[in-house]
Chains A and B, each alone.
Chain A
Amino acid sequence: MSAPSSFRYISKPRRVVEDRRFVVGKGHYAGDISAEGMLHVALVASTHPAARIISIDASAALALPGVHKVLTGAEFAEGCEPLMNGLETPAVKRYPLAVGATRYMGEWIAAVVADTRAIAEDAAELVEVTYEPLPFVIGAEEAYDPASPPVHPGHGSNVLLDKTFHWGPVEEDFARSEHQLKYRVVWGRNATVPIETFAVLASWDPWRNVMDVWASIQMPKFADQIARALRLPMTSVRVHQDVDVGGSYGVKRGIKHTVLVAHLARLLNRPVRLIEDRLENMRGGDMHGPDRIFDVELAFNGDGVINAMKMRALDNVGAYAGRAPFQLGKPIGAIVGPYKINSVRYQAIAVTSNKAVEEAVRGFGQAPTNYAIETGVDLVAEKLGLDRIELRRRNFIRADEFPYLIPSGTSYDSGDYHAVVDKVLAHAGYAELITERDRLRAEGMLAGIGVASCLEPSGGNSSFEPLLNEKNTTTTWMESVRINVDALGTVTAAIHTTSSGQGHETLVSTVVGEVLQIDPDKIQVVRPDSIASLPGNSPVGSRMAIMMGGAAFHAAGKLKAKLFKIAAHIFGCAPEALTYESGVVSGAGHTLSWMELVTICHRHFHQLPADTEPGLEATHVFQVPTGVALPKDGRVQMYPCHSFEFHLVLVVIDPIIGKPELRRYVIGHDCGTVINPHIVKGMTLGGIAHGIGAALLEEFVYDEQGQMMSQSFMDYLLPSSHEVPHVEIVHHCTPSPFTVFGQKGSGESGYLGAPAAVSGAINDALRPLGIRMSKLPIRISALSDAVAAATDANQV
């Protein structure tokens, strides 16, 4: 590993390759693609949170000119397999359309296919569904109650997962600690909510036996799942990965959409497209994130050292299983945050309810967990009368203690938390910030400072799968890059996944350019379709800088090794005697230029060493660093790398109006070696904006009748440029020893700590009143009402 200062292209503020086409409006999305004879789909949505489907009368819809098909769940299920279920809960079956019963308001009951989307919507209104309403359950605690109506009667209860881990001597640590406290915090259901809803076009070619799919997808093993559901060989599913994806951060899974549309394309022998509208996306697109209640107990000494934690995390995953319950598993890899907590008891519970299905969202459960931990750390400081930052310092893992093994089995790679905090405090002028807060308080405002110190586990392994489901023995979670140098000497790198804004073309061209010492702008990056692709697992778990960057590094290294072998053969020397400079290989008094080497590979077989293939190409399939073993005794090495972020926020609130204004926002960020500074900055700013949304604005709300109250952007409120303050970023670099350049992940940065920091700032502001807000998002009216109640109580 080289020192960052020695890089040619890595860490340099080079233009992001992808930005050029997006800035001029030339992105190419799934919705931009059409096929001759294409038909359009609209969905009939359930109006009940739970009901038996007595009958579906499509006659009026089918009578409308331009309508080709009304597909019901029952008909779909006759010809296809249920969608993938991550847990061993065979009675919890999910199909793209409700089969026999509907389990949430907005669930897709039938699909209408027509000449235009408008006709399909007209026809969808004419489909008459007769329901027999059933008892339903909305809240997580209610669903956990054995007396609640089971969403899947065959499963017997609403509990999908209820597993308790004991890591270390928890009870002993609680017994020996001077102090204990317990608290509850609630994380409201939000998501990333991209402007581009899910879009998919499928086209079946019976003469080639190929189902072509263009989709706005971010999904591991997408083609595998389509093939299984449609009972096709995987060689017949061709997912085109060269489409731009208009935002995702986890939610663009779209498996039910794709299987549905592909089935219709095969059934009707016509290309079929579905572009969800906002209502279909918000209420029935299966894109909501974690919805979680935490009950936490902490045991600590008088000096603030936290010895042990008991955490119960109850997640409301909605009507079906999918991968959502695993979002309780990933945080196990950073369950103690950046702190030296000696022992932990963790109870992970996933329950079904009559809400829409939960999917992966940025951080895969880590942001809620960080919020729960950070709230507790603030409470410990409050109880002991200690400064919150000093308390964190006392509990931080020290820079000289890495690699650091946490109780749940993950070894943290590296970090210097104290240094990052010091840098941020120096940058922000912490003493002045406190003075400013106190000045605002003296003026009659509520003012508070929030801090959050959080980890971003990165490198995207799937160790939580075997940890939560013993029948799953997956340890492989690879990524592949293939590099080809053509006969004219230009370089193409192939990657094998879609991108949803992560800048993979920039990443791979930068890494290959660094190794081969070629201008990255001259390197072409392409995405073969899924049939032509090498194995990969898509951009999840903040993994691509590590994984795709690692694969590109090793493939480029193999290519370089081949050049050395050829040059050594021609020069008659050992490869070790050779040097490489910008494509030119020298040694033993000889030199071969890049073009001469390329020509030898492509045209001069007679000059190649005996056992050498012609052409100049190299492939590397890269396994996650540290991803070598199955879990043992409930412990596992989760992700290889751990980025660190420290947030410092000043909030001011008029006590009557109750609207939090973020007056200062500073983040210290350490994701090791940065490959491209613009990309990291963009992800961090976007993550903070999303975190502000989670803390203050965004929630999918269901009322007591099980109706969803936030189905559009009128009620689901995304932060705009007015709500997101100027953010000051303070950089620090602690390289990871496990990655090729020392890089760590940053795809989830900002979001992992912003909700905790904003909530902490508001609760600091409320502390003089003796109240705190313990549910996100913190609404203006609720905040003001709590202040008024506390003020009245204090006056009595």
Chain B
Amino acid sequence: MKAARFDYHCAGSVAEACQALASHEDARLIAGGQTLVPMMAMRLARPALLVDIARLSELRTIEAHGGELVTGACVRQAQAERDPLVRAHAPLLARALPFVGHAPTRNRGTLGGSIANADPAAEIPLVLVTLSGSVDVRQGDVSAQVAASDLFEGPMMTLLAPTACITAVRFPVWEQQRIGTGFVEVSARQSDYAYVCAAAQVALDADGTVLRCALGIGGATAVPTRLSDVAQALTGRSVTLELARAALAPAIAALDIMVDAHASRDYRRRVALRFAEQALMAACADATAQAAGARS
């Protein structure tokens, strides 16, 4: 388990990193390295050149402005987990982060790295898709913004070119007062790859009516799936389990569910339905509890 030979370049700026990436056909970015390094050790990944962006301070900021929480791509997952801005402005991300890997991998792993890796079971991409966030991308001298709904193309695949570098991650900030979140997942062991996970964020008015709703499923589908129709159907309503189930059943039944050696297609579909319900109900309960001043 020794990596094949590679060159290493520690980038001094994003521009330099992009230049280095373009300089070699088999160049790859490394940030936290929590997926890439084991893959290299098993020689399943064999980049010729590693371009390290983990130390770029310009990629490690967390700010809230313009209705968005904007984090640098190289913000460590553990840093985001503890950050008060994340907690206040992207509560669903804060809720999901403890499910990402283990504490030691979160100390190294980055938000942008997890998104670029595009594992269908990963929590951060699910949150990004659920909240309709986006990423800032730099390629050469060109910067662009890519919506989460366009970003993920399949398991471990994004539409980003090999020479592109995610520089920032944007999560929309909800302006409502009573926002609640729910996140559930199942894996063989705690911290393993999720067979299924579900994320929900809702905003309620004083009467418990849904003002805004976002709901997504991960692990079960090739890319994280935002259940927009369900969110739409529940908006303006007071959510009950029956109502949620009625809206979710046809939506989950219509999904193209994955199968692998760990879990059957039927299993993932059943659990997706159960988890979507659970995440939604938990989010509503969380929002309701906040009105009583008991934010969890």
Contact of A781 with B263 at beta-carbon distance under 8 Å, contacts A117-B2, A121-B2, A278-B1 already known: yes
Chain B interface, DSSP helix/strand/loop, else mixed: loop
Interface check B5, CB cutoff 8 A: yes
Query: Which residue of the partner chain, among B2, B186, B190, B262, contacts A720 with CB atoms under 8 Å?
Result: B190
Chain A residues whose CB sits within 8 angstroms of the CB of B271 once the complex forms: 656-657, 784
Complex CA gap A281/B36 in Å reads 22
Chain A residues whose CB sits within 8 angstroms of the CB of B1 once the complex forms: 121, 277-279
Query: Which residue of the partner chain, among A121, A722, A780, A781, contacts B190 with CB atoms under 8 Å?
Result: A722
Q: Mark B257-295, 1 if CB is under 8 A from A, else 0.
A: 000011110110011001000000000000000000000
Interface check A719, CB cutoff 8 A: yes
Interface check A56, CB cutoff 8 A: no
Beta-carbon contact of B274 and A657 below 8 Å = yes
Name A720's closest neighbour in chain B (CB-CB).
Answer: B189
For the A-B complex, the count of residue pairs with Cβ-Cβ distances under 8 Å equals: 60
Complex CA gap A780/B264 in Å reads 10
Complex CA gap A536/B119 in Å reads 52
Beta-carbon contact of B264 and A659 below 8 Å = no
Complex CA gap A784/B186 in Å reads 12
Complex CA gap A538/B263 in Å reads 42
Q: Mark B72-91, 1 if CB is under 8 A from A, else 0.
A: 00000000000000000000
The total of chain A residues at the interface (CB under 8 A) is 28
Contact of A697 with B190 at beta-carbon distance under 8 Å, contacts A656-B271, A785-B264 already known: no
Contact of A781 with B2 at beta-carbon distance under 8 Å, contacts A657-B186, A657-B271 already known: no
Interface check A599, CB cutoff 8 A: no
Interface check B188, CB cutoff 8 A: yes
Beta-carbon contact of B192 and A723 below 8 Å = no
Q: Mark B161-191, 1 if CB is under 8 A from A, else 0.
A: 0000000000000000000000000101111
Chain A residues whose CB sits within 8 angstroms of the CB of B262 once the complex forms: 779, 781
Beta-carbon contact of A279 and B42 below 8 Å = yes
Interface check B4, CB cutoff 8 A: yes
Complex CA gap A49/B261 in Å reads 20
Q: Mark A635-671, 1 if CB is under 8 A from B, else 0.
A: 0000000000000000000101111000000000000
Please give the distance in Å from A791's CB to the nearest CB on chain B. 10
Complex CA gap A440/B264 in Å reads 27
Please give the distance in Å from B33's CB to the nearest CB on chain A. 16
Chain A contacts with B in 329-366, Cβ cutoff 8 A:
none
Chain B residues whose CB sits within 8 angstroms of the CB of A117 once the complex forms: 2
Beta-carbon contact of A717 and B192 below 8 Å = yes
Contact of A717 with B189 at beta-carbon distance under 8 Å, contacts A279-B42, A712-B42, A788-B270 already known: yes
Query: Which residue of the partner chain, among A125, A279, A654, A788, contacts B266 with CB atoms under 8 Å?
Result: A788
Please give the distance in Å from B218's CB to the nearest CB on chain A. 15
Beta-carbon contact of B189 and A658 below 8 Å = no
Tell me which of B42, B188, B192, B261 has the highest count of chain A C-beta atoms within 10 A of its own C-beta: B188
Query: Which residue of the partner chain, among B2, B5, B186, B266, contacts A659 with CB atoms under 8 Å?
Result: B186
Complex CA gap A785/B267 in Å reads 6
Chain A residues whose CB sits within 8 angstroms of the CB of B192 once the complex forms: 717
Bin the interface of chain B by size.
Answer: 20 to 34
Interface check A122, CB cutoff 8 A: yes
Beta-carbon contact of B195 and A781 below 8 Å = yes
Chain A residues whose CB sits within 8 angstroms of the CB of B42 once the complex forms: 279, 712
Chain B residues whose CB sits within 8 angstroms of the CB of A658 once the complex forms: 267
Interface check A570, CB cutoff 8 A: no
Chain A residues whose CB sits within 8 angstroms of the CB of B261 once the complex forms: 701, 709
Beta-carbon contact of B270 and A784 below 8 Å = yes
Chain A residues whose CB sits within 8 angstroms of the CB of B43 once the complex forms: 121, 125
Name A717's closest neighbour in chain B (CB-CB).
Answer: B188
Beta-carbon contact of B266 and A785 below 8 Å = yes
Please give the distance in Å from B91's CB to the nearest CB on chain A. 25
Chain B residues whose CB sits within 8 angstroms of the CB of A781 once the complex forms: 195, 262-264, 267
Interface check A118, CB cutoff 8 A: yes
Please give the distance in Å from B50's CB to the nearest CB on chain A. 16
Name B259's closest neighbour in chain A (CB-CB).
Answer: A781
Name B266's closest neighbour in chain A (CB-CB).
Answer: A785
Beta-carbon contact of B266 and A722 below 8 Å = no
Complex CA gap A277/B189 in Å reads 24
Beta-carbon contact of A784 and B188 below 8 Å = no
Complex CA gap A485/B274 in Å reads 71
Complex CA gap A277/B274 in Å reads 41
Complex CA gap A122/B261 in Å reads 31
Chain A contacts with B in 761-796, Cβ cutoff 8 A:
779-781, 784-785, 788
Beta-carbon contact of B5 and A122 below 8 Å = yes
Chain B contacts with A in 185-239, Cβ cutoff 8 A:
186, 188-192, 195
Complex CA gap A657/B2 in Å reads 38
Beta-carbon contact of B270 and A656 below 8 Å = yes
Please give the distance in Å from B251's CB to the nearest CB on chain A. 17
Chain A contacts with B in 248-297, Cβ cutoff 8 A:
277-279
Complex CA gap A722/B42 in Å reads 27
Chain A residues whose CB sits within 8 angstroms of the CB of B4 once the complex forms: 122, 125
Complex CA gap A723/B192 in Å reads 12
Please give the distance in Å from B243's CB to the nearest CB on chain A. 19
Chain B contacts with A in 50-80, Cβ cutoff 8 A:
none
Beta-carbon contact of A780 and B2 below 8 Å = no
Beta-carbon contact of A722 and B191 below 8 Å = yes
Complex CA gap A562/B172 in Å reads 86
Beta-carbon contact of A722 and B264 below 8 Å = no
Contact of A780 with B5 at beta-carbon distance under 8 Å, contacts A709-B261, A785-B266 already known: no
Chain B contacts with A in 125-143, Cβ cutoff 8 A:
none
Query: Which residue of the partner chain, among B188, B191, B266, contacts A780 with CB atoms under 8 Å?
Result: B188
Complex CA gap A445/B4 in Å reads 50
Chain B contacts with A in 1-33, Cβ cutoff 8 A:
1-5
Tell me which of A278, A723, A784 has the highest count of chain B C-beta atoms within 10 A of its own C-beta: A784
Chosen A-B contacts, 6 in total, with CB atoms closer than 8 Å, are: A125-B43, A278-B1, A723-B189, A779-B188, A780-B186, A784-B267
Using a CB–CB cutoff of 8 Å, the interface residues on chain B facing chain A are 1-5, 42-43, 186, 188-192, 195, 261-264, 266-267, 270-271, 274
Interface contacts beyond A121-B2, A781-B262: sample of 20 additional A-B pairs, CB < 8 Å, sorted by A = A117-B2, A121-B43, A125-B4, A278-B1, A279-B42, A659-B186, A697-B188, A709-B261, A712-B42, A717-B192, A722-B190, A723-B190, A779-B188, A780-B263, A781-B195, A781-B263, A781-B264, A781-B267, A785-B266, A785-B267
